[in-house]
Amino acid sequence: MNTLNKEIAGWGRYPVQRCELVRPERHADLLSDAPSLLARGQGRSYGDAALNEGRRVVLTERVNRFLAFDCDQGIVRAEAGATLAELLTLTVPRGWFPLVTPGTKHVSLGGCVAADVHGKNHHHDGAFSRSVRELELITADGRRLCCSAQENGEAFRATVGGMGLTGIIGEVELQLQPIESVYIRARHQGAANLEQVFALLQDTDNDARYSVAWLDLMSRGAGLGRGVVMNGDHAARDELSGGRRLTPLRLAPAKVRNIPFDMPGWLLNSLSIRAFNAQYFRREGGRSGSFLVDYDSFFYPLDTLDNWNRLYGKRGFVQYQCVVPTATALEAMQQLLRRLADSGHPAFLGVLKRMGAAGEGYLSFPMEGYTLAMDLPMKGVATLALLDAFDAIVLQHGGRVYLAKDARLAMDSFRAMYPQLDAWRRVRRELDPQGVFGSSLSRRLGMEGEA
Amino acid sequence: MSGAVLILGATSAIARGTAAALAQRGHRLYLAGRDVESLRRDAADLAIRHGVQVNFGIFNAEVHDTHAAFLQRVGDEMGELEGVVLAFGYLGSQQKAAGDFDETLTIINRNFVDAVSILNLCADHLEQRGRGFIAGIASVAGDRGRQSNYTYGAAKGALALYLQGLRNRLFPAGVHVLTVKPGFVDTAMTWGMPGLFLVATPAYVGERIVAAIERGRDVIYVPWFWRYIMLIIRSIPERLFKRLKL
pLDDT of residue A450: 66
Do the domain assignments include residue A239? yes
User: Cβ atoms within 10 A of the Cβ of A250, count?
Assistant: 12
Does the distance separating the beta carbons of B193 and A67 come in below 8 Å?
Answer: no
Q: At CA A36, angle to CA A410 and CA A422, rounded to 5? A: 45
- Please say if the pLDDT value at position A316 is more than 90: yes
- Adjacent-strand bridge partners of A186: A232, A291
B74 band by pLDDT with thresholds 50, 70 and 90: very high
Q: Among A180, A200, A233, which residue terminates a domain?
A: A180
CB-based contact A382:A343 (threshold 8 Å): yes
What average pLDDT score do residues B200-205 get?
95
pLDDT value for B2: 76
Q: Are residues A319 and A221 in the same domain?
A: yes
Does residue A269 lie in a domain region? yes
In this model, does residue B190 exceed pLDDT 90?
no
Judge if A166 and A269 occupy the same domain.
no
Q: Share the mean pLDDT of chain A.
A: 95
CB nearest A4 (choices: B11, B38, B192): B192
Of B38, B192, B193, the CB nearest to A26: B38
Number of other CB atoms surrounding residue A358 within 10 Å:
16
Domains of chain B: residue spans and CATH: 4-241 (3.40.50.720)
Q: Whole-model pTM?
A: 0.94
Residue A121 has pLDDT above 70, yes or no: yes
Mean pLDDT, residues B138-155: 94
Residue B81 has pLDDT above 70, yes or no: yes
H-run or E-run covering B45: helix B36-50
CB < 8 Å from B in window 43-72 of A: 62, 65-69
Partner residue facing B188 (CB), from A25, A28, A89: A25
The whole-angstrom separation of Cα A268 and Cα A314 is 12
What pLDDT digit, counting tens, does each position of A168-201 carry? 999 999 999 999 999 999 999 999 999 999 999 9
**Same domain membership, residue A197 and residue A128:** no
Please name which of A47, A118, A116, A115 lies closest in space to residue A369, comparing C-alpha atoms. A118
CA B162 from chain centre, in angstroms, equals 13
Residues 6+ apart with CB under 8 A from A276: none
Residue range B109-132: mean pLDDT, rounded:
97
What does the alpha-carbon distance between residue B108 and residue B98 come to, in Å, rounded to a whole number? 13
Q: Which residues contact A287 (CB under 8 A, 6 or more apart)?
A: A188
Give exposure, B16-27, as e/b (b: 16+ Cβ within 10 Å): bbbbbbbbeeeb
Question: Is residue B135 over pLDDT 70?
Answer: yes
Query: Is residue A31 pLDDT above 80, yes or no?
Result: yes
Given A180, A208, A228, the domain boundary residue is A180
Q: Are residues A263 and A374 in the same domain?
A: yes
Count of the separate structural domains present in chain A: 2
Nearest to B60, CA basis, from B36, B24, B96, B28: B36
Interface test with A, best of B12, B191, B193, B201 (most A CBs within 10 A): B191
Judgement on whether residues A153 and A286 belong to the same structural domain of the protein: no
SS3 B39: helix
DSSP classification of residue A263: P
- Do A318 and A360 reside in the same domain of the chain? yes
Q: Is residue A17 very low, low, confident or very high in pLDDT (cuts 50, 70, 90)?
A: very high
Compute CA A325 distance to the chain's CA centroid, rounded to the nearest angstrom.
19
CA distance A126 to A329: 19
Mean pLDDT calculated for residue range B106-118: 98
Contacts of A72 (CB under 8 A, 6+ apart): none
Q: Tell me if A78 is assigned to some domain.
A: yes
What is the per-residue pLDDT for A210? Answer: 97
In chain A, the percentage of residues whose pLDDT exceeds 70 is: 100
- Quick one: pLDDT band at residue A259, thresholds 50, 70, 90? confident
Query: Which H or E run contains B124?
Result: helix B114-129
- List, as ranges, residues 84-123 from A with C-beta within 8 Å of B: 89-90
Residue A416 has pLDDT above 60, yes or no: yes
What does the pLDDT read at residue B62? 96
A228 and A335, same domain (yes or no)? yes
Q: What is the ipTM of this complex?
A: 0.92
Q: Does residue B1 surpass a pLDDT of 90?
A: no
> Are A2 and B187 inside 8 Å of each other by CB?
no
A309/chain B closest Cα distance in angstroms: 24
A326 located within any domain: yes
User: What does the alpha-carbon distance between residue A377 and residue B187 come to, in Å, rounded to a whole number?
Assistant: 36
Residues of chain A above pLDDT 90, percent: 86
Q: How far is B175 from chain A (nearest CA, A)?
A: 33
Contacts of B191 in chain A (CB under 8 A): 2, 4, 23
Residue A343 — φ and ψ, nearest 5°? -75, -25
- Residue B110 predicted with pLDDT over 70: yes
Is A149 contained in some domain? yes
Q: What is the pLDDT of residue B57?
A: 98
In a domain, A219, yes or no: yes
**Do A66 and B35 lie within an 8 Å CB cutoff?**
no
Q: How far is CA A55 from CA A32, A38, A159, A247, A437, in A?
A: 12, 9, 21, 49, 10
**Contact residues on chain B for A68, CB-CB shorter than 8 A:** 44, 48
- Cβ separation of B48 and A90 shorter than 8 Å? yes
The DSSP result for A56-102, as a single string, is EEEE-TT---EEEEETTTTEEEEETT-BHHHHHHHHGGGTEEESS--
pLDDT category at B191 given cuts 50, 70, 90 is confident
Whether pLDDT at A311 is above 60: yes
Mutate to test the interface with B, among A25, A63, A67 (most CBs of B within 10 A): A25
Name the domain boundary from A380, A395, A411.
A411
Question: What is the pLDDT at residue B246?
Answer: 79
Contact between residue A16 and residue A7 where contact means Cβ atoms under 8 Å apart:
yes
Q: Is residue A274 part of a domain?
A: yes
Task: Work out the end-to-end distance of chain B between its first and last CA atoms, rounded to an integer number of angstroms.
Answer: 42
Cα A408 to the center of its chain, rounded Å: 17
**A443 is a domain residue:** no
Q: Are A339 and A238 contained in the same domain?
A: yes
* Virtual torsion, Cα A230, A236, A237, A241, nearest 10 deg: -40
Residue in chain A closest to B37 (alpha carbons) equals A28
Backbone angles phi, psi at A17, to 5 degrees: -140, 150
Contact A90 B49 (CB under 8 A): yes
- Please tell me whether residues A188 and A162 are part of one structural domain: no
DSSP-derived letter for residue A113 is H
Q: Say whether both A261 and A400 belong to one domain.
A: yes
Same domain (yes/no): A229, A332: yes
Beta carbons of B45 and A21 less than 8 Å apart: no
Residue A127 shares a structural domain with residue A201: no
Range of the domain at A361: 183-411
CATH number of the domain that residue A231 is part of: 3.30.70.2520
Distance in angstroms (rounded) separating the CA atoms of residues A239 and A287: 19
Q: Given A4, A67, A79, which is nearest B191 (Cβ)? A: A4
